[in-house]
Amino acid sequence: MESTPIIIYRVKPEDTLYSIARKFNTTINTVLMINGLFCPVLFVGQLLKIPAYFLNYKDYIYPSNLEAENEWSKLYSTEQKSNTVDNDSNFYVFSPDGRIQVTFTLKKGVAYYDAIYCNKSIIKPSKLGFTFNNAEPLNQNFIITDHKYNSFDENWIQPWGEVKEIRNNYNELQVDLQETTETRRRMTLIFRVYNYGLGFRYALPEQENLFCFEIMDEETEFVLADDYQAWWIPAFQKNRYEYLYNNTPISCITTFFAVHTPLTMKTPDGLYISIHEADLKDYASMTLMPLPNNRLTADLVPWSTGVKVIGSTPFKTPWRTIQIAEKPGDLITSYLILNLNEPNKLGGVSWVKPGKYVGIWWEMHIGKYTWSSGPKHGATTENAKRYIDFAAKYGFPMVLVEGWNKGWDNDWTKHGEKFDFITPYDDYDIVEVTSYAAKKGVKIIGHMETAAAIQNFERQMEKAFALYKKLGIDVVKTGYVGWDPQVKRLDDQGNLLGMEWHHGQYMVNHYRKVVETAARYHISLDVHEPIKDTGERRTYPNMMTREGARGQEYDAWSPDGGNPPDYTTIIPFTRMLAGPFDYTPGILELFYKEYNPNNRVNGTIAKQLALYVVIYSPLQMAADLPENYEKHRDAFQFIIDVSTDWQDTKVLNGDIGKYVTIARKDRNSEDWYLGSITNENGRTLEAPLTFLEPYKKYVAEIYADGPNADWKINPYPIDIYKTIVDRNTILKLRLAPGGGQAIRIRKATEEGVNLVPLYQ
pLDDT at 63 over 50: no
What is residue 61's predicted lDDT score, i.e. its pLDDT? 46
pLDDT classification of 79: cutoffs 50, 70, 90: very low
Pick the CATH number of 344-548 from 3.20.20.70, 1.10.10.10, 3.40.50.300, 3.40.50.740: 3.20.20.70
Q: Give per-residue pLDDT as tens, 199-213.
A: 999 999 999 999 999
Section 434-463 average pLDDT? 98
pLDDT at 314 over 90: yes
**Sheet with strand 475-479: strands edge to edge:** 543-546, 524-527, 475-479, 443-449, 398-401, 355-360, 619-621
pLDDT at 252 over 70: yes
pLDDT classification of 67: cutoffs 50, 70, 90: low
What is residue 210's predicted lDDT score, i.e. its pLDDT? 96
Nearest to 605, CA basis, from 439, 445, 716: 716
The pTM (predicted TM-score) of the whole model is 0.91
What DSSP letter does each residue of 184-246 carry, written as one string?
--EEEEEEEEETTEEEEEEEE--BTTBSEEEEEEE--EEEESS--EEEE-BSS-TTTT--PPE
Section 644-667 average pLDDT? 98
pLDDT at 37 over 60: no
Rounded Cα–Cα distance for residues 25 and 196 (Å)? 25
Q: Which amino acid, residue 737?
A: P
- Residues above pLDDT 70, as percent of the chain: 90
What is residue 62's predicted lDDT score, i.e. its pLDDT? 47
Q: What is the CATH number that goes with domain 6-84?
A: 3.10.350
Contact 52, 4 (CB under 8 A): yes
Sign of the torsion formed by the C-alpha atoms of 410, 414, 418 and 421 = positive
Select the more confidently predicted residue: 627 or 28. 627
Greatest mean pLDDT among 30-34, 82-86, 525-529: 525-529
pLDDT classification of 296: cutoffs 50, 70, 90: very high
Question: Across all residues in the chain, what is the average pLDDT?
Answer: 92
Section 87-100 average pLDDT? 84
Catalytic residue among 162, 218, 219, 553: 553
pLDDT classification of 753: cutoffs 50, 70, 90: confident
Rounded Cα–Cα distance for residues 335 and 170 (Å)? 12
pLDDT at 35 over 50: no
- Cβ atoms within 10 Å, residue 409: 14
pLDDT at 32 over 70: no
Q: What number of H helices and E strands is found in the chain?
A: 16, 44
State yes or no: is 553 an active-site residue: yes
E-only strand ranges, 600-682: 619-621, 646-655, 659-666, 672-678
Section 365-379 average pLDDT? 98
List the domain boundaries for the chain.
6-84, 96-339, 344-548, 549-760
What is residue 28's predicted lDDT score, i.e. its pLDDT? 63
What is residue 714's predicted lDDT score, i.e. its pLDDT? 98
Q: Do domains 6-84 and 96-339 have the same CATH topology?
A: no
Distance of CA 248 to the CA centre of its chain: 22
Fold of 549-760: TIM Barrel (3.20.20)
pLDDT at 268 over 50: yes
Nearest to 580, CA basis, from 646, 520, 514: 646
What is residue 4's predicted lDDT score, i.e. its pLDDT? 53
What is residue 715's predicted lDDT score, i.e. its pLDDT? 98
What DSSP letter does each residue of 335-403 carry, written as one string?
-HHHHTSPPPSS---TT---EEEEEE-HHHHHTSSBSSSSTTBS--HHHHHHHHHHHHHHT--EEEE-S
Please tell me the least confidently modeled range out of 81-90, 96-105, 348-357, 647-656. 81-90
What is residue 74's predicted lDDT score, i.e. its pLDDT? 52
Rounded Cα–Cα distance for residues 688 and 623 (Å)? 31
pLDDT at 479 over 60: yes
Please tell me the least confidently modeled range out of 82-91, 206-215, 391-400, 691-700. 82-91
Please tell me the least confidently modeled range out of 53-62, 347-356, 602-611, 672-681. 53-62
Q: Give per-residue pLDDT as tens, 694-742.
A: 999 999 999 999 999 999 999 999 999 999 999 999 999 999 999 999 9
**Largest Cα–Cα separation, the chain:** 94
Rounded Cα–Cα distance for residues 173 and 179 (Å)? 20
Section 446-452 average pLDDT? 98
pLDDT at 682 over 60: yes
What is residue 41's predicted lDDT score, i.e. its pLDDT? 55
Those residues with Cβ within 8 angstroms of residue 459's Cβ, 6 or more apart along the chain or in another chain? none
Question: SS3 for 131?
Answer: strand
What is residue 149's predicted lDDT score, i.e. its pLDDT? 86
pLDDT at 55 over 50: no
pLDDT classification of 52: cutoffs 50, 70, 90: low
- Residues above pLDDT 90, as percent of the chain: 85
What is residue 360's predicted lDDT score, i.e. its pLDDT? 98
What is residue 676's predicted lDDT score, i.e. its pLDDT? 99
Please tell me the least confidently modeled range out of 65-79, 257-271, 579-593. 65-79
Q: Give per-residue pLDDT as tens, 494-507.
A: 999 999 999 999 99
pLDDT at 685 over 60: yes
What is residue 82's predicted lDDT score, i.e. its pLDDT? 43
Select the more confidently predicted residue: 507 or 25. 507
pLDDT at 589 over 80: yes
What is the signed CA dihedral for 541, 543, 547, 548, rounded to 10 degrees? -100
- May I ask the CATH class of domain 96-339? mainly beta
pLDDT classification of 255: cutoffs 50, 70, 90: low
What is residue 25's predicted lDDT score, i.e. its pLDDT? 67
